[in-house]
Amino acid sequence: MLSPEVHSSAVIYPTAKIGNEVCVGANVVIQEGVEIGKDVCIHPNVLIYPQVRIGNHTVLHANCIIHERTQSWYKLCNS
């Protein structure tokens, strides 16, 4: 996994909760009320709609769209 960081072009709404060791790629949008666990990697151009819960150790690959109120505890959008 990449070193934890948030790309400068990412948009994270203030009500989103982001866990430890999370890497957020370029042009990612994380909307209101999103909860992201620890050790998560979000690749570029991912859009996460409101009220989504992403579990620990998840990978969101490039160009994923995760719709409202989705809950995931495993890897999404694997290539």
Tell me, what's the pLDDT at 44? 98
* 23-63 confidence digits (pLDDT tens): 999 999 999 999 999 999 999 999 999 999 999 999 999 99
Q: Where are the alpha helices (DSSP H) in 1-79?
A: none
Q: List C-alpha distances in Å: 54 to 39, 58, 61.
A: 11, 7, 13
In a domain, 76, yes or no: no
Confidence of residue 74 (pLDDT cuts 50, 70, 90): low
Q: Determine how many CB atoms are found less than 10 A away from the CB of residue 78.
A: 9
Range of the domain at 31: 5-70
Number of domains in the chain: 1
Q: What is the CATH number of the domain that holds 24?
A: 2.160.10.10
